[in-house]
Chains A and B, each alone.
Chain A
């Protein structure tokens, strides 16, 4: 039972519930003191040690139901022809079923006397429990076979057939196959009976593999998917996956937020204020009982996010904004601007509407052909006064200016005033400066410029940003 508990914890882990070895030990203790007799009691008890948040508890309940499924596979009911069940009242059904199994067994026995292949088969434990409908025995056999074949390693749905076959082989299904062939050759009337047994067995194993696949591989497949998504160029992501990406961003944002909010608190206390400590010590006969600390006064940092929302870059801008606004709890004051041919402040959209809606509005209002020169001028007019040594300016754009005037001098004056200017370019570094790209010139007026076109890069940059804004 303990190993199945450990397996269960493995399953929970693949479903994104983080469980440490210490918690595993706790779970074993819990199971030991509650016992395995009362299912719901055990479930609640385990939930208390393994699931640490409400969301995790939902996942836990879901997995628990699936993993500790109570019903055993049924090998008899399906064997009864439908008419036998329908025509009889339910009270008689059981007796009829028993009768039916008995006649079937008798038919097989009869055929076995003349057929050596069938005779071998009839002596295998598999066939005996099949005929006797020994559900516990069969379920156990399937479990063991699955364990030997490493079914828990299943990862892709394409492996399902392969595992089904392997488990059937391990159960000794080849005897059934041989007997079926032999019966076919001799055109025995027992053929149909045996075929039915074979089909039931196959069906049960298939179902079993299916269930295990859902249990073990579902989580793994999702992790795989998340991994792929976070490395794909953002504008290549299919529309149907967008909601997944948003969820990923939120998760990344939560991670970063918890990492960075913590350090901020630690920095709050300043150095020892010796003078004040001495002064306050005078009434105590000069003994310094209470210490006083210099408060660190910090100017509130500020972030200005400037996003190109013209067609080529819109997808990236969307994710950057989503990221930044998901981080609002840890990030200081954020103002955002959007531009293509002209520029405007869009912060109020984010205050009024939920992030997704706000981004849509921004795209709709400012999308169009790009003019960096003009937009920089607009930006200077709007925000130049607000830029000081506590300001971080993030510009997201491909720097393709349609051969217009880049107005580099504006960016340079921003560069001189701001604490840092970060330029994120979704194009790969090799393309910078090619054609109408002004990136190489703009780069000279940035503290930091980076290629940024997938979530991994985005996360790294935002992480850096958070470090530098404190």
Chain B
């Protein structure tokens, strides 16, 4: 097993620049995490509210390094047959049927049961070789010649047992397959695990990972993100809409708008040729930001104050 050298990951600043060229604006902390993950060959456990770009982070690195992104979406009941590997039962069955006739030839000249079995033993493991192995995402990530980005998405949705399954892979980059032995990674993949904190991740898993918490961005950072993602929105409107989203995040909502929603909203405002925010415009496009009817209703009464607040801060700036 060897690790490749990526000049794109040589320093924290380089990573920041590289990300920016792919439209992913990140804080210094995120870049540090990526740098350390590469230097120390450690997986990163990314936590944070939904929609702050956890998955996007892994995708961007794959783009930046130009290596495949292998994604494993976790859910309750996910087991090793779907995550690690499975035997190609159908193929095994087919081959045994086809080879049935050959059996007679093979055993020719063997006297008695013991001798036949001894003869068979010579061919014993043919059906349990890599030929018959169906690699699932985790094994596939180990097999990549040039390395890969392995994204284990929403690991908190999986069961506790699955976490234990990950431990061997994450610390040694190898998988034990009882019939074959341990399969080592050709090149250690860079692993990102994301979690939405729906439950606590076990200590054993946490211990093996770097821990990165991505919070909602600051106003300044979010404006940069909008500028990079939706460049056509003019400066004034951009500031106004980001301020507005930030004030929405202060309210008690069922689901607060995330970055992805801010981007969507900026796009829809652009389509509507909006020059600046006003109450009517916000009300008619609020469903882009808020995904629950209760949230929209709760915000509705405070809309006037929120929009006015936004304009005041803009003037102050």
Contacts and interface: CB of A to CB of B under 8 A. Distances in A.
Contacts of B39: 29, 33
Contacts of B159: 265
B28 A51 contact: no
B228 to A, nearest CB: 23
B93 A26 contact: no
Contact of B29 (A20, A30, A44, A52): A44
Interface in A37-91: 40-41, 44-45, 47-49, 51-54, 57
A238 B31 CA distance: 49
B210 interface: yes
Contacts of A44: 28-29, 32-33
B206 A52 contact: yes
A353 B272 CA distance: 46
A23 B207 contact: yes
B54 interface: no
A235 B89 CA distance: 66
Contacts of B33: 44, 48
Nearest to A38: B12
A383 interface: no
Contacts of B203: 18, 52
Contacts of A51: 211
Contact of B210 (A48, A57, A262, A266): A48
Interface string A260-274: 001001100000000
Contacts of A29: 39-40
Contacts of A54: 47, 213
B279 interface: no
B191 to A, nearest CB: 14
A33 B40 contact: yes
Contacts of A262: 160
Contact of A265 (B36, B160, B200, B213): B160
Interface residues of B, number: 26
B266 to A, nearest CB: 28
A153 interface: no
Interface string B152-180: 00000001110000000000000000000
Contacts of B210: 48-49
Contacts of A52: 203, 206-207, 211
Contacts of B213: 54, 57
Given A48-B33, A49-B210, A26 B40 contact: yes
A33 B93 contact: no
A284 interface: yes
A49 B32 contact: no
B239 interface: no
Contacts of B160: 262, 265
A45 B207 contact: no
A406 B141 CA distance: 70
Contacts of B36: 30, 33-34, 45, 48-49
A289 interface: yes
A64 B90 CA distance: 58
A258 interface: yes
A206 to B, nearest CB: 37
A77 B29 CA distance: 38
B296 interface: no
A228 interface: no
A301 B47 CA distance: 35
B212 interface: yes
B224 interface: no
Given A44-B32, A52-B206, A289 B40 contact: no
A258 B44 CA distance: 23
A289 B127 CA distance: 14
Contacts of B44: 48
A296 interface: no
12 contacts: A18-B203, A26-B42, A29-B39, A40-B28, A44-B29, A45-B32, A49-B211, A53-B211, A57-B211, A285-B93, A285-B97, A289-B93
Which 9 A-B pairs rank lowest in CB-CB distance, beginning with the nearest? A48-B210, A33-B39, A52-B206, A44-B32, A44-B29, A289-B89, A52-B211, A29-B40, A48-B211
Interface of A: 18, 20, 22-23, 26, 29-30, 33-34, 40-41, 44-45, 47-49, 51-54, 57, 258, 262, 265-266, 284-285, 287, 289
Interface of B: 12, 28-29, 32-33, 35-36, 39-40, 42, 44, 47, 89, 93, 97, 159-161, 200, 203, 206-207, 210-213
Given A44-B28, A44-B32, 9 more contacts: A26-B42, A29-B40, A33-B39, A34-B35, A44-B33, A45-B36, A52-B207, A54-B47, A289-B89
